[in-house]
C-alpha cells in the first residue's frame, strides 16, 4: 500500500486565516520532494502537531488548553479547521480537525468517497490498526525522535522495528491464545477433580487477576505517555527560560561558561571512571595486601615446583606400554598401580592452567596508580560540587533579574521535574522485576500479577482436567515467543548491517558504527554522538526500516538537517528520496544550503515559502524556487 | 556455569547498572556491564577474606567473563586461590596448596572450576553485604558515588 499527502488546508489557526498547500503537480501527479520554509512564528510546530493529532487520532482527546493554543491571533473567530487530503493507493480520504475555541473541544472528521463527512478518523481497512500514536511518529518525524533512538531511557528503536514489521501482531496471538484457554476452562464439559465452589473461587480469582493485569498495563502505558508529555513541556519551559536569560548578557554568559565547565567536568569524570575500571581489572593494584597475597602464592608455587613436571598423561601412556622406561615388563598388576598413582599427578591441561596462573601472579608489582586515580576522581568530584554551587548562585541571580516570568517558569520546570520523578517511581512499582525498597504485590506489580495468573491457571487446569489445553496453550505461547525472539534477532542483525552500510556514506569524517539494537541503538566503542551525527544515524536507521517494509509512507519532517554539517546534509539528501515515496520537509533558511538546494535540478520538487505579512502579521504564501532561494539568502541566520 | 549475583544487590545497584542481560548502555551514568559491579563487590569480599555462601537469592549474571576481563582471568583465579588458602588456614608452602588449586581451578574458559565460580559468587555476595552495611546505606545514584564507596570499603575491610 502506498500513502501520499495531496493537500493541507488551514482555516483560522493561529496566524493563518486561510491557507491551502497543494502537493500535486499541474499534471496531476504527486510531487515527491516538497520544501516548505516557514518563517519563525508562522506555524511550523503547529502544523506538525496538527498532522500528528489527525493521523494518530489524539486530536479527539485534546484538552481545552491545548485546543485554545490553536486559536487565531490575527482575526477573531470561535472556530477553526485543519484538513489534510491523503491518497491511499488510488482512494482519496480527507481528514479534518474541527476546532471549537469557545468550548475548547476538537474532533476529527473524515470524508471518503462515496460517503460525505463522517465523525471520527476512518482509515482504510488494511492499515486500520497500524496508525497508533507510536507508529505515526515514525513518518511524522522530528529531531527529538532521533535523539530518543540513541537514548537508553527510551526503547524507541525497538518499538520502531516492532511496529513497522508488525511484530505487535504476535502479541495479539498470545492474547487470543490466553482467551481460548479461559474459554475452555469456563466451559462446563470435562471431568472435574475439585468441588464446584472451589473451582468457582479459582475462576473468580483468575478473572480478578486478569483484570488487574489489564489495569496495570493501562496504567504503565499512561505513566509512559505522561513522562513523555512532561519531558516535552519541560524542554519547552527551559527553552523559554533560556530566552529570558539571554536578555541579561553578563549573567547569561556566566551561565553558558558554567554549563561548558560542567560538561567538561562530566567528561573528565567519565574518563577517570573508565581509567579506574581499567586499573581495577588488575587485582594486585587494589591494595598492597592483595598484591602480597598473590605474590606469596606465586612464590610458593615456585618453591613447591608447581605444577610438577611429570604429568598424569605420561603415566597413563606408560601404563599401556609393554615395558617401563627402566626396561622392566609392565604386567596387569603394575598397570593397575601406575594408573591408580597417576591420579596424584596433574593432566597436561591442568598443568598449563597452573603455569598461566603462576606466571601472571609472580610478576605482580603493586604501585600507586589506582590510588592516584581515585584521588583524581575525588578532585574532579570536588570541582563538580563547586560548579553546581556556582550554577545555583547564577540561576538565582538570573531568576531575580528575569522577574516574575522567570520565577514562574522555573517553578513550573521544578514542578514538572517532580511530576516526572513521581511518574517514574509509580512506573517502577508496576514494572520492577524485584525491588526490596518497594512493597510489591500482585495487585501493584505486573511481573507478580502475571506469575499469580500462571499459578491460578495451573490450579484451574488441574481442577477441571484441562491440563491438556493448558499444556497446548503453553506450547503455543513458547513457540510464538520463540518466533518473536528469533525474528527480532534476525531483523535486528540485518537492520544493523544495512544501516552501517548507509552510515559509511553519510558520516565520512568519523568512524561511527552501530553495534546492536537492544531497545535503543548502541554504538560501537563510543557512548554517544553529536547532534548532527545522531540525526544522520536516525535517517540511515529509518531508511533501512522503510525501504524493506511493504507499506510505503510519506516522510513529513521538521528541520530535517538540524545541526548537521554540509557533508552529512548532502548524503542525507541523497538517501531520503530513495527511501520514502514523498517528502514534506519544513525547513529553516539555514537548511537550504547543501540540502534543499541539492534538489533544485530535480523536476519532481517544489518550494513553498510562508512568511508573516509586515502589515497585519497574517501569513503569505509564495510558491517557486526563485523566491524560496532569495528568501533564504536574505534570512539565513535569523533562526538559531 | 554462571557468575551469579544477589537479586537484592541488582536491585540496590539498579541506578548504576543496565538491566539484566543488557550488554552495555549508552547511558553514561551506568556501568557498561553488571559484571563490573559484581567484580568490585567480589574484590571487597576477597580483600576482607569473608564470604557468604547463601545461594537462595542469586540470579544468573553472565556465563564466562565479559571480553574486557579476559586478560585478567588468571590473576583473578590466583587471587581467589590465595584468599581461600588464607581463609581456610592452608599453609601455602605445604603440598596441600596443590589440592586447593585443583579444587578451584580448571581448564575452562574462566580458568575456574564450578566450585571456584561458586566461591567467587560467595565473595561477591559478602562484598555486597559489606559495602551496603557501610558506607553505602542508600542506593548509589552515580558510578562515582559507588567507586568512592568501593575505595573506602577496600581500605576499611582489607586484611
| pLDDT tens column, A591-606 | 788 788 888 888 899 9
Confidence of residue A86 (pLDDT cuts 50, 70, 90): very high
3-class secondary-structure state, position B5: strand
Q: Is the pLDDT of residue B23 over 50?
A: no
| Rounded average pLDDT over A382-411 | 91
Q: Which long-range contacts (CB under 8 A, 24 or more apart) does A617-625 make?
A: A617/A15, A617/A73, A617/A74, A618/A15, A618/A16, A618/A17, A618/A74, A619/A15, A619/A16, A619/A19, A619/A42, A619/A43, A621/A19, A621/A21, A625/A600
pLDDT: which is higher, A617 or A365 = A365
- Least reliable range by pLDDT among A224-233, A369-378, B117-126: A224-233
- CA–CA separation, A616 vs B149, rounded Å? 64
| Rounded average pLDDT over A312-319 | 76
| Rounded average pLDDT over A63-75 | 86
Q: Is the pLDDT of residue A196 over 80?
A: no
pLDDT of residue B22: 39
| Inter-chain touch B26–A273, beta carbons under 8 Å | no
Confidence of residue A617 (pLDDT cuts 50, 70, 90): low
- CA–CA separation, A587 vs A556, rounded Å? 11
CA closest to B66 among chain A residues: A281
Cα separations in angstroms, B156 against A455, B48, B135: 47, 9, 10
- CA–CA separation, A564 vs A510, rounded Å? 13
Whole-number percent of chain B with pLDDT over 70: 94
Can the peptide bond before residue A114 be classed as cis, meaning omega within 30 degrees of 0?
Answer: yes
pLDDT of residue A85: 96
Distance to chain A for B94, nearest Cα, Å: 8
| Rounded average pLDDT over A356-376 | 92
Q: Is the pLDDT of residue B73 over 90?
A: yes
pLDDT of residue A39: 74
Question: A436 CB near a chain B CB, below 8 Å?
Answer: yes
| Inter-chain touch B144–A381, beta carbons under 8 Å | yes
- CA–CA separation, A475 vs A471, rounded Å? 6
Can the peptide bond before residue B135 be classed as cis, meaning omega within 30 degrees of 0?
Answer: yes
For the segment A95-151, what is each residue's pLDDT rounded down to a tens digit? 999 999 999 999 999 998 778 899 999 998 777 777 877 778 878 887 666 666 666
Instruction: Write down how long chain B is.
Output: 159
Q: Is the pLDDT of residue A301 over 70?
A: yes
CA closest to A434 among chain B residues: B11
Cell of A480: 510464538
Q: What is the CA radius of gyration of chain A?
A: 34
A113/A97 same-domain check? yes
Question: In sequence order, what are the residues at sequence separation of 6 or more whose Cβ sits closer than 8 angstroms to the Cβ of residue A435?
Answer: A428, A429, B11, B14
State which residues form the domain around A124: 3-130+551-558+574-635
- CA–CA separation, A264 vs A270, rounded Å? 10
pLDDT of residue A150: 66
- CA–CA separation, A230 vs B9, rounded Å? 31
Please state, rounded to an integer, the average pLDDT across all residues of chain A.
85
Of A493, A515, A549, which residue is a domain's last? Answer: A549
Q: For chain B, what is the largest distance between any 2 Cα atoms, rounded to a whole number of angstroms?
A: 49
Of A549, A584, A616, which residue is a domain's last? Answer: A549
Q: Is the pLDDT of residue A219 over 90?
A: yes
Q: Is the pLDDT of residue A367 over 70?
A: yes
A30/A105 same-domain check? yes
pLDDT of residue A434: 62
pLDDT of residue A591: 79
pLDDT of residue A437: 53
pLDDT of residue A220: 93
A96/A183 same-domain check? no
Which residues 33-52 of chain A have a CB within 8 Å of chain B?
none
3-class secondary-structure state, position A380: helix
- Is A318 a domain residue? no
pLDDT: which is higher, A476 or A314 = A476
Question: In sequence order, what are the residues at sequence separation of 6 or more whose Cβ sits closer than 8 angstroms to the Cβ of residue B15?
Answer: B29, B30, B139, B140, B141, B142
B86: chain A residues, CB-CB within 8 Å: 293
pLDDT of residue A181: 84
Question: A411 CB near a chain B CB, below 8 Å?
Answer: no
B104 with B113: CB under 8 angstroms?
Answer: yes
- Is A393 a domain residue? no
Question: In sequence order, what are the residues at sequence separation of 6 or more whose Cβ sits closer than 8 angstroms to the Cβ of residue A364?
Answer: A284, A291, A294, A295, A298, B75
Q: Which long-range contacts (CB under 8 A, 24 or more apart) does A240-247 make?
A: A240/A409, A241/A402, A241/A406, A241/A409, A241/A410, A241/A413, A244/A398, A244/A402, A244/A405, A244/A406, A244/A409, A245/A398, A245/A402, A245/A406, A247/A401, A247/A402
For the segment A498-507, what is each residue's pLDDT rounded down to a tens digit? 889 888 877 7
Q: Is the pLDDT of residue A518 over 80?
A: no
- Is A201 a domain residue? no
Could you report how far apart the first and last alpha carbons of chain B are, in Å? 29
3-class secondary-structure state, position A443: coil
A92/A178 same-domain check? no
Cell 525501504 sits on residue: A547
A118/A142 same-domain check? no
Q: Which of B26, B50, B136 to mutate to test the interface with A (most CBs of A within 10 A)?
A: B26
- Is A166 a domain residue? yes
| Rounded average pLDDT over A626-636 | 82
Q: Is the pLDDT of residue A640 over 50?
A: no
φ/ψ of A530, rounded to 5, equals -70, 170
- Is A54 a domain residue? yes
| Rounded average pLDDT over A312-318 | 75
φ/ψ of A308, rounded to 5, equals -65, 150
A96/A157 same-domain check? no
Confidence of residue A272 (pLDDT cuts 50, 70, 90): very high
Cell 592452608 sits on residue: B90
pLDDT of residue A236: 86
pLDDT of residue B3: 95
- Least reliable range by pLDDT among A23-37, A207-221, A455-469: A455-469
Q: Is the pLDDT of residue A571 over 80?
A: no
Question: A284 CB near a chain B CB, below 8 Å?
Answer: yes
pLDDT: which is higher, A295 or A464 = A295
ipTM of the shown complex: 0.95
- Is A122 a domain residue? yes
- CA–CA separation, A358 vs B78, rounded Å? 8
Distance to chain B for A545, nearest Cα, Å: 22
Q: Is the pLDDT of residue B85 over 90?
A: yes
Helix (H), strand (E) at residue B91: none
- Is A444 a domain residue? no
Helices A312-319 & A332-342 angle (0-180, nearest 10): 170
A97/A48 same-domain check? yes
Helix (H), strand (E) at residue A324: none
A71/A160 same-domain check? no
Q: Is the pLDDT of residue A590 over 70?
A: yes
| Rounded average pLDDT over B39-60 | 94
Nearest to A284 among B75, B77, B151 (CB): B75
CA atoms within 13 A on the CB side of A153: 12
Could you report how far apart the first and last alpha carbons of chain A are, in Å? 39
- CA–CA separation, A412 vs A400, rounded Å? 16
Number of domains in chain A: 2
A354: chain B residues, CB-CB within 8 Å: 101, 105
- Is A503 a domain residue? yes
A519: chain B residues, CB-CB within 8 Å: 22
A582/A605 same-domain check? yes
B35 with B62: CB under 8 angstroms?
Answer: yes
A459 with A474: CB under 8 angstroms?
Answer: no
- CA–CA separation, B110 vs A499, rounded Å? 35
DSSP codes of every residue in A107-141 = EEEEEETTS-EEES----GGGTTT--HHHHHHHEE
3-class secondary-structure state, position B58: strand
Question: In sequence order, what are the residues at sequence separation of 6 or more whose Cβ sits closer than 8 angstroms to the Cβ of residue A348?
Answer: A311, A312, A313
CA atoms within 13 A on the CB side of A80: 31
Of A515, A549, A583, which residue is a domain's last? Answer: A549
A518: chain B residues, CB-CB within 8 Å: 22-23
Whole-number percent of chain A with pLDDT over 70: 90
For the segment A250-265, what is each residue's pLDDT rounded down to a tens digit? 888 999 999 999 999 9
- CA–CA separation, A621 vs A411, rounded Å? 40
- Least reliable range by pLDDT among A182-196, A226-240, A449-463, A541-555: A182-196
Q: Residue A231: which of A412, A420, A422 has the closest Cα? A: A420
| Inter-chain touch A286–B43, beta carbons under 8 Å | yes
pLDDT of residue A151: 63
φ/ψ of A509, rounded to 5, equals -95, 5
Instruction: Say how many C-beta atoms besides its own lie within 10 A of residue A45's C-beta.
Output: 14
pLDDT of residue A200: 84
| Rounded average pLDDT over A447-476 | 86
Confidence of residue A198 (pLDDT cuts 50, 70, 90): confident
A32/A145 same-domain check? no
Cell of A586: 519544513
Question: In sequence order, what are the residues at sequence separation of 6 or more whose Cβ sits closer than 8 angstroms to the Cβ of residue A353?
Answer: B105, B106, B107, B111
| Inter-chain touch B25–A437, beta carbons under 8 Å | no
| Rounded average pLDDT over B21-40 | 72
pLDDT of residue A438: 58
pLDDT of residue A527: 65
Please state, rounded to an integer, the average pLDDT across all residues of chain B.
89
φ/ψ of A239, rounded to 5, equals -70, -35
For the segment B92-106, what is each residue's pLDDT rounded down to a tens digit? 888 788 889 889 999
Amino acid at each position: 500500500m502506498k500513502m501520499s499527502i495531496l493537500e493541507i488546508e488551514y482555516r483560522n489557526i493561529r496566524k493563518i486565516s486561510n491557507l491551502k498547500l497543494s502537493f500535486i503537480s499541474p499534471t496531476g501527479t504527486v510531487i515527491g520532494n516538497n520544501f516548505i520554509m516557514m518563517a519563525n512564528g508562522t506555524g511550523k510546530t503547529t502544523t506538525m502537531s496538527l498532522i500528528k493529532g489527525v493521523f494518530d487520532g489524539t486530536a479527539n482527546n485534546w484538552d481545552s488548553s491545548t485546543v485554545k493554543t490553536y486559536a487565531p491571533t490575527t482575526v477573531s473567530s470561535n472556530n477553526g479547521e485543519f484538513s489534510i487530503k491523503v491518497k491511499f493507493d488510488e482512494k482519496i480520504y480527507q481528514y479534518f480537525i474541527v476546532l471549537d475555541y469557545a468550548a475548547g473541544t476538537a474532533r476529527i472528521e473524515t470524508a471518503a468517497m462515496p460517503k460525505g463527512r463522517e465523525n471520527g478518523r476512518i482509515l482504510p481497512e488494511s492499515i486500520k490498526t497500524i496508525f497508533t500514536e507510536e507508529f505515526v511518529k515514525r513518518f511524522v518525524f522530528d529531531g527529538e525522535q532521533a535523539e530518543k533512538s540513541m537514548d537508553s531511557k527510551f526503547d524507541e528503536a525497538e518499538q520502531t522495528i516492532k511496529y513497522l514489521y508488525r511484530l505487535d501482531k504476535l502479541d495479539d496471538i498470545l492474547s487470543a491464545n490466553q482467551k481460548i484457554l479461559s474459554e475452555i476452562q469456563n466451559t462446563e464439559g470435562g471431568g472435574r477433580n475439585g468441588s464446584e465452589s472451589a473451582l468457582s473461587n479459582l475462576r473468580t480469582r483468575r478473572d480478578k487477576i486478569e483484570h488487574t493485569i489489564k489495569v496495570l498495563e493501562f496504567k504503565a502505558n499512561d505513566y509512559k505517555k505522561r513522562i513523555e508529555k512532561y519531558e516535552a513541556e519541560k524542554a519547552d519551559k527551559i527553552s523559554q527560560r533560556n530566552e529570558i536569560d539571554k536578555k541579561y548578557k553578563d549573567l547569561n554568559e556566566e551561565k553558558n561558561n558554567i554549563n561548558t565547565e560542567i560538561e567538561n567536568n562530566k567528561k573528565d569524570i567519565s574518563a577517570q571512571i573508565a581509567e579506574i575500571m581499567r586499573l581495577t581489572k588488575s587485582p594486585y593494584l587494589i591494595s598492597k595486601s592483595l598484591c602480597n597475597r598473590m605474590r606469596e602464592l606465586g612464590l610458593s608455587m615456585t618453591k613447591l615446583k608447581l605444577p610438577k613436571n611429570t604429568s598424569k598423561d605420561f603415566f597413563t601412556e606408560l601404563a599401556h606400554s609393554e615395558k617401563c622406561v627402566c626396561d622392566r615388563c609392565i604386567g596387569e598388576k603394575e598397570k593397575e598401580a601406575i594408573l591408580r598413582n597417576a591420579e596424584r599427578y596433574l593432566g597436561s591441561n591442568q598443568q598449563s592452567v597452573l603455569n598461566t596462573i603462576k606466571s601472571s601472579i609472580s610478576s605482580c608489582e603493586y604501585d600507586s596508580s589506582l590510588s592516584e586515580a581515585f584521588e583524581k576522581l575525588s578532585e574532579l568530584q570536588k570541582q563538580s560540587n563547586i560548579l553546581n554551587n556556582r550554577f545555583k548562585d547564577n540561576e538565582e541571580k538570573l531568576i531575580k533579574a528575569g522577574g516574575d516570568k522567570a520565577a514562574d517558569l522555573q517553578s513550573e520546570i521544578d514542578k514538572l521535574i517532580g511530576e516526572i520523578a513521581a511518574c517514574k517511581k509509580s512506573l517502577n512499582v508496576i514494572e520492577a522485576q524485584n525491588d526490596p525498597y518497594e512493597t510489591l504485590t500482585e495487585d501493584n506489580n505486573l511481573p507478580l500479577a502475571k506469575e499469580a495468573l500462571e499459578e491460578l491457571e495451573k490450579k484451574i487446569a488441574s481442577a477441571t482436567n484441562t491440563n491438556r489445553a493448558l499444556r497446548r496453550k503453553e506450547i503455543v505461547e513458547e513457540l510464538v515467543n520463540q518466533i518473536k525472539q528469533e525474528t527480532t534477532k534476525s531483523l535486528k542483525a540485518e537492520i544493523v548491517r544495512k544501516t552501517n552500510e548507509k552510515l559509511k556514506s553519510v558520516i565520512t569524517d568519523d568512524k561511527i558504527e552501530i553495534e546492536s539494537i537492544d531497545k535503543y541503538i548502541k554504538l560501537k566503542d563510543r557512548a554517544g554522538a553529536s547532534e548532527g551525527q545522531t540525526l544522520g544515524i536516525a535517517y540511515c536507521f529509518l531508511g533501512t526500516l522503510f525501504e524493506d517494509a511493504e507499506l510505503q509512507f510519506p516522510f513529513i519532517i521538521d528541520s530535517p538537517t538540524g545541526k548537521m554539517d554540509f557533508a552529512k546534509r548532502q548524503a542525507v539528501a541523497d538517501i531520503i528520496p530513495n527511501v520514502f515515496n514523498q517528502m514534506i520537509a519544513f525547513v529553516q533558511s539555514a537548511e537550504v544550503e547543501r540540502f534543499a538546494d541539492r534538489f533544485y535540478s530535480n523536476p519532481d520538487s517544489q518550494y513553498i515559502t510562508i512568511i508573516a505579512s509586515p502589515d497585519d502579521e497574517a501569513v503569505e504564501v509564495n510558491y517557486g524556487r526563485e523566491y524560496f532561494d532569495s528568501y533564504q539568502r536574505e534570512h539565513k541566520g535569523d533562526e538559531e | 556455569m554462571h557468575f551469579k549475583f544477589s537479586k537484592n544487590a541488582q536491585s540496590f545497584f539498579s541506578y548504576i547498572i543496565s538491566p539484566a542481560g543488557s550488554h552495555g548502555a549508552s547511558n553514561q551514568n551506568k556501568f557498561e556491564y553488571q559484571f563490573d559491579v559484581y567484580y568490585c563487590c567480589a574484590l571487597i569480599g576477597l580483600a576482607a577474606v569473608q564470604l557468604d555462601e547463601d545461594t537462595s537469592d542469586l540470579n544468573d549474571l553472565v556465563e564466562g567473563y565479559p571480553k574486557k576481563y579476559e586478560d585478567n582471568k588468571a590473576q583473578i583465579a590466583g587471587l581467589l586461590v590465595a584468599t581461600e588458602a588464607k581463609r581456610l588456614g592452608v599453609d601455602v608452602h605445604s603440598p596441600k596448596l596443590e589440592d586447593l588449586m585443583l579444587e578451584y581451578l580448571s581448564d575452562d574458559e574462566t580458568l575456574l572450576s564450578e566450585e571456584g565460580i561458586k566461591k567467587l559468587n560467595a565473595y561477591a555476595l559478602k562484598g555486597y553485604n559489606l559495602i551496603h552495611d557501610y558506607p553505602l546505606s542508600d542506593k548509589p545514584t552515580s558510578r562515582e558515588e559507588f567507586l568512592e564507596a568501593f575505595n573506602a570499603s577496600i581500605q576499611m575491610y582489607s586484611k
